[in-house]
Structure 1
Amino acid sequence: MLKRPRRLRETESLRSMVRETHLRPEDFIYPIFVVEGENIKEEISSLPGVYHYSVDLLEEVVKELDEFKVRGIMVFGLPDHKDECGSESFNDNGIVQKAVRKLKELSEKLVVITDLCMCQYTSHGHCGILHGHSIDNDETLEYIAKIAVSHAKAGADMIAPSDMMDGRVLAMREALDKEGFKNVSIMAYSAKYASAFYGPFRAAANSAPQFGDRKSYQMDPANSREAMREIELDIEEGADIVMVKPAMAYMDVIRMAKDSYPNVPLAAYNVSGEYAMVKAAAQMGYIDEKSIVYEMLLGMKRAGADMIITYYAIDMAKWLKEEE
């Protein structure tokens, strides 16, 4: 007898009944870039449709997130001052800390996540404390712990270390617990690759290294088994959520991570280069943006991601609402 799988594809109603993977607004986390100053909303040239915001204009973002039921926001700060040790990153009145306090004031529903890295704050643009041209891993951990506590004091619900230093999750967890922040969770950038897809972000965050590259601490794109080791270590050290970054070229790593650690929430970061390529192609009329974004994010979810950090969070949530 001829087998006919097409029977269940005959109508949209049938297709929706047997659909295996679904996108929801609650799946998305929206990254924002916050700057010093007032009344600032400036489009980022490398990321069309994404903006630098001053703290006083964050209400506009929060209203959109609330309207379209996006529950997560990830805060990236751009300081006015940079130095060798990135001191503005752990200043209790720093840009991220001010943004967190404002976001918590504006919304009780929003899960406020802070990106923790020193690259935007150091004069050399690297993600830790330098001695010559080398990062001192263990000295950097002391600073990471200070930054984490400062973010928690400001009211962050979750802190996401993106530096890829060895032992950073344990250093943060111990510091947070010691200061009474036992319920502040950690989303670890566990498998963060040394990727060319970060270019537009580095322009947006003014965080490109002043010399060299980050290949001595971010992962080699050729390796996937190593990613499982990194994820395992972060879980052992106390990470509540682990992450694979970037997403599109690393779907196999997302799948491996979900298969290896099915009981640990997994995030995927749909990074700036992925976003910018889709935007550029859409603006040239080469693709249908909405359809491509839906398929791209669905693929990440199907691969195993429980949540997706994406600059398309609000747009995708709007499109999903239109389909209701």
Structure 2
Amino acid sequence: MYPLRRNRRLRTNEAIRSLVRETIITPNDFLIPLFVVEGKDIKDEIPSMPNYFRYSLDLLENEVKVLWKLGLKSVLLFVKVTDSLKDNKGTEALNPDGLMQRAVRTVKNACPDMLVMTDVALDPYSAYGHDGIIENGQIINDETAEVLAEMSISHVQAGADFVAPSDMMDGRILTIREALEDEGFNNTGIMSYSAKYASAFYGPFRDALDSAPVDLVDIPKDKKTYQMDYANRFEAVRETEMDIDEGADIVMVKPGISYLDIVREIKNDVDVPVAVYQVSGEYAMIKAAAEKGWLDHDQIMMETTMAFKRAGADIIASYFAKDVVKLLS
């Protein structure tokens, strides 16, 4: 007897596949990471991230307008700080006329309705490439959190809509939230990197910002004392719940494709939007394999993007966003 139900009927052609598709990607799903540098007329391709660039402020303005025309409405800003401005306490991060603060103003002037999020961490400003202040060979937590709060206030004063702490210090969300409330910024959002793992996928990003930990005696060689052990699953849920209790509006899992189980675990557990970051190493691997002809670039790009959304991500931070949206259109 033939089956009364044949699932393949719903796969017969593209029209029916599109009609019953469970997961849909739109431009509204994306958060666009943008790298900013000092100078003028600079669009500098990152060697380990083909077709992705660092922009000077004048060209950042142009790029933001291009993104908006594509329907991409949210950006996440990172800055590459000159070595001469780096120290142990991230002093330059608090400069009201620093590169991040000027980048925020540039984006808002170019496109007032663009949602601007800012990276809040010390590593771009640290002489040691760490996300925290170092004392006696240790990353000190509470003093770092206080600086992160001051940094957040500076970003919001420049016009940022959301701050995005990426450091993984304990209690920093509460410290930042209290500082924002004290300054009257009660409508400012916090997107917390709540489940950020100590991953080998970050290499190209650290090249892009020159923010890798330095190899010195008595200085931690990696970030494993504050970023999470990638063997752990339930710790991610605990971290995320704590950040929400402390005032986070959006929570993030980072990296992406190797952590889809974490995305789903957190999505099932919380009632706030969940973001995922498809990080530089994931981007670079796809680019490298495609250049070799080993993988179809666009098909892999779309498949991995769909995997994030299917796993439960409400927001996808991705270097592929422009290419995805162009392909969709």
Give CA deviations for 1:83-110 in whole Å, capped at 9, x if unaligned: 1111111111111100000100011221
1:41-52 → structure 2 map (5 Å cutoff): 41-52=43-54
Normalising by structure 2, we get a TM-score of 0.96
In the alignment, structure 1 residue 267 sits paired with structure 2 residue 268: no
Does the alignment pair 1:246 with 2:250?
no
Higher mean alpha-carbon deviation, 52-61 vs 19-28, is at 52-61
1:63 deviates by 2.0
Tell whether 2:236 aligns with 1:227.
yes
| Partner residue in 1 for 2:301 | 293
How far, CA to CA, are the matches of 1:28 and 1:4 in structure 2? 36
| Structure 2: distance between partners of 1:73 and 1:125 | 24
SS at match of 1:235: helix
CA contact (8 A) 1:28 1:307 kept: yes
Residue 13 of structure 1 deviates from its aligned partner by 1.0
Identity of aligned residues (%): 52
1:119-139, Cα deviation, whole Å (9 max, x unpaired): 010101111111021011011
Any conservation in 2 of the 1:79–1:94 contact (CA below 8 Å)?
no
Name structure 2 gaps, 5 residues minimum: 216-220
**Superposed displacement of residue 67, structure 1:** 1.5
> Aligned runs of 1:27-42 on 2, under 5 Å?
27-42=29-44
Q: Secondary structure at the match of 1:69?
A: coil
Q: TM-score, normalised by structure 1?
A: 0.97
Alpha carbons 2:80, 2:208 under 8 Å: kept: no
Residue equivalent to 1:164: 168
Q: Which runs of 4 or more aligned residues in structure 1 lie more than 4 Å from their structure 2 counterparts after TM superposition?
A: none
Name the residue aligned to 1:119: 123
The one-letter code sitting in structure 2 at the alignment partner of 1:129 is I
Q: Name the CA distance, whole Å, in 2 between partners of 1:70 and 1:58.
A: 15
Secondary structure of 1:73's aligned partner = strand
How large is the RMSD of aligned CA atoms in angstroms? 0.8
Shift of the alpha carbon at 1:285?
1.1
Distance 1:281 1:25 in 2: 26
> How many residues of Structure 1 are paired with residues of Structure 2 in the alignment?
320
What displacement does 1:272 show? Answer: 0.2
Matched position secondary structure for 2:71: coil
Q: How does 1:1-324 map to 2 (within 5 A)?
A: 2=3, 3-80=5-82, 81-211=85-215, 212-261=221-270, 263-321=271-329
CA distance in 2, matches of 1:59, 1:78: 17
Work out whether residues 36 and 95 of structure 1, in 8 Å CA contact, stay in contact via their aligned partners in 2.
yes
Secondary structure at the counterpart of residue 181 of structure 2: helix
Contact 1:269 1:308 in 2 (8 A): yes
Aligned-partner Cα distance in 1 for 2:249–2:133: 26
